[in-house]
A = this chain, B = another copy of it.
């Protein structure tokens, strides 16, 4: 009757000592609660994904020493299963270790190495060629790592008939992913007849958010217990030895999709800021819906004392926008400074007029760049990380200014389409307090960049409820323009949107990272050449 703890930990990439200290603490807690073993996520020693750090031999060496240190520190507690980078004369391995009594008793090498989407594991690792069985509290268990479970081949093919399979993960979030995970685990459970203990990481790492949701999958394909989502959790599982029911000490709810996305954005923003050593953030709050949502996310992530905003009206800014920004800042309890940019605009005019560069697009971008420059000055002077406020629809079609509204260290809603921005605002307001942090007018007024008189987004772009589905089909589904038209969209609009998306690749290449929440985010998920004449 083994008792096994699922240690859903928030590690930090490269923080070998910190990760080991935290695993040690949790192992002692689990042992105190009577656990025979505790299971930690994929590459928990190094944090995931360590990327090119693993190409440094001393990083692998130090990680192996950290694994030994964990074994020593937990020798008198209980068994530990954790992820680490292993190496031998053939190469490096994404590996799982079984620690007991101060020793590394078993090593398993991940067989299925993902090399698509955000994953580059073939760049680093050699695939394992067989499974590895261990015994936990008298029960035989097979070890596996993340992608292994997404295939019916190695090592699961060797585990048929085993009572138990441990699957340790660093599985990044996107909306809909939780259901996909359950489906593949169900398929593996039904194939093997085993209980599957699925342990995921939690926390943000650059563009990725690991959402937790560790779970116990029964041999009949039923989830019998689930750890928290978007936070650390230690889930205790009592097994009956293999054939009867398992029980967990608690189980967490699966949030509805809008809440799920919102919590991913909050966690991703908090961890990017904190893990990079920042205490505060600063952003430009225009009174528009995007910057308002970013201010709210930042405040939920870091607290109102850690967020400051600048409102920088120009002659094209409406009084309503400034009033909305002030209202929002008041509701959130964050510091707002009003910094009119007319003086800067006039000074540039003197320089740019003789060069013929003071009108049109140049003049519009200029305002955005003045705001970006002031924001960066505040960031430089205060040590606050600047946040960029653009959404996915804007990044897609290039409706954003390089070095202007794209300026910042992190772009929280970069992967959130505009239509979802509205849904998130409505959801967040419904959580209160009172009528919520977002003034109603911010949600109801027509979107505008306010860079020229009377400007509306729809002057340049199709309405977002038409634009966003086209972007999704082109970017996330890799459909061709013809296929999108065949799906019922207007041919002229599709052609225009696709051309805008292709042409904006150079801007996106210089964008700050943001939280991936869709199946295909801009960034390392989507690697298109800038120089590209297709489809011509």
Question: Shortest Cβ distance from A389 into chain B, in angstroms?
Answer: 15
Determine the distance from Cα of A58 to Cα of B482 in the docked complex, in whole angstroms. 10
> Is A377 touching B403 in the complex (CB atoms < 8 A)?
no
Q: Which of B14, B361, B511 is the one whose CB lies under 8 Å from A536?
A: B14
Across the interface, which residues of B come within 8 angstroms of A444, CB to CB?
none
- Interface locus among A73-81, A96-104, A232-240, A340-348: A340-348
Beta-carbon contacts of A468-483 to B below 8 Å, as 1s and 0s? 0000000000101011
Q: Which residues of B contact A341 (CB under 8 A)?
A: 351
A380 and B365 form a contact (CB under 8 A): yes
Are the C-beta atoms of A206 and B344 separated by less than 8 Å? Answer: no
Give the chain B neighbours of A403 by CB distance below 8 A.
369, 372-373, 376, 403, 407
Least distance between A360 CB and chain B CB atoms (Å)? 7
Q: Name the residue in A115, A360, A380 with the highest tally of chain B Cβ atoms < 10 Å from its Cβ.
A: A380
A residues 361-387 in Cβ contact with B at 8 Å: 361-362, 365-366, 369-370, 372-374, 376-378, 380-382
Provide the bound-state CA to CA distance between A53 and B529, in Å. Answer: 8
Q: Does A512 contact B (CB under 8 A)?
A: yes
A528 to B56, CA, bound (A): 11
Segment at the B interface, from A116-124, A146-154, A448-456: A116-124
Distance, CA A197 to CA B276, complexed state (A): 51
Which of these binds chain B: A44-52, A134-142, A413-421? A44-52
Shortest C-beta distance, A232 to chain B (Å), equals 17
**Closest B residue to A525 using CB positions:** B52
Number of A residues with CB within 8 Å of any CB on chain B: 90
Binds B, one of A15-23, A246-254, A294-302, A459-467: A15-23
Identify which of B14, B15, B362 contacts A377 (C-beta below 8 A).
Answer: B362
Task: Give every chain B residue within 8 A of A28 (Cβ-Cβ).
Answer: none
Q: Which of B344, B362, B478 interacts with A348 by CB under 8 Å?
A: B344
Smallest Cβ distance from A408 to chain B, in angstroms?
Answer: 9
Among B123, B275, B377, B534, contact of A53 (Cβ-Cβ < 8 Å) = B534
Q: A115-B123, A407-B403 are in contact. Are A276 and B530 (CB under 8 A)?
A: yes
Contact residue among B340, B360, B380, B526 (Cβ-Cβ distance under 8 Å from A52): B526
Q: Are A506 and B409 in contact (CB under 8 A)?
A: yes
Find out whether the CB atom of B15 lies under 8 angstroms from the CB atom of A533: yes
A183 within 8 A of B: no
Contact with B along A55-66 (1 / 0, CB 8 A): 111110010000
Contact present for B348 and A360 (CB under 8 Å): no
CB distance from A22 to the nearest CB of B (A): 13
CA distance A480 to B61 in the complex (A): 11
**Complex Cα–Cα for A533 and B11 (A):** 11
- List residues of A (318-372) whose CB comes within 8 Å of B's CBs: 337, 339-341, 343-344, 346-348, 350-352, 354-362, 365-366, 369-370, 372
CB distance from A352 to the nearest CB of B (A): 5
Chain B residues contacting A530 (CB-CB under 8 Å) are 206, 276, 513
CB-CB under 8 A from A340, the residues of chain B are: 351
Select one of B51, B337, B478 contacting A355, CB under 8 A: B337
B17 and A536 contact, CB distance less than 8 A: yes
A12 at the interface (CB under 8 A from B): yes
Which residue among A15, A403, A534 has the maximum number of chain B CB atoms within 10 Å of its CB? A534
User: CB of A431 within 8 A of chain B?
Assistant: no
Q: Is A510 an interface residue, CB under 8 A from the partner?
A: yes
Residue of B nearest to A56 (CB): B478
Q: How far is the CA of A385 from the CA of B3 in the complex (A)?
A: 64
- Whether, in the assembled complex, A402 has its beta carbon less than 8 Å from a beta carbon of chain B, the answer is yes
Q: What is the CA–CA distance of A337 and B536 in the complex, to the nearest angstrom?
A: 36
| B339/A343 in contact, CB under 8 A | no
* A41-B61 Cα distance, complex, nearest whole Å: 41
Contact between A374 and B351, CB atoms less than 8 A apart = yes
Distance (whole angstroms) from the CB of A62 to the closest CB of chain B: 8
Residue contact A532 to B351, C-beta cutoff 8 Å = no
Q: Which of B347, B348, B360, B534 contacts A59 (CB 8 A)?
A: B534
- Besides A16-B536, A361-B381, A372-B403, 11 more A-B contacts (Cβ < 8 Å) are A18-B533, A55-B478, A62-B534, A205-B529, A339-B351, A343-B351, A356-B381, A362-B378, A369-B403, A509-B513, A510-B511
14 contacts between A and B (CB under 8 A): A14-B532, A15-B536, A49-B529, A57-B480, A59-B534, A206-B529, A272-B531, A337-B355, A343-B347, A369-B369, A369-B372, A369-B373, A403-B403, A524-B527
Q: Which 10 A-B pairs have the closest CB atoms?
A: A14-B534, A357-B381, A403-B403, A347-B347, A15-B533, A362-B380, A58-B480, A343-B347, A14-B532, A14-B533
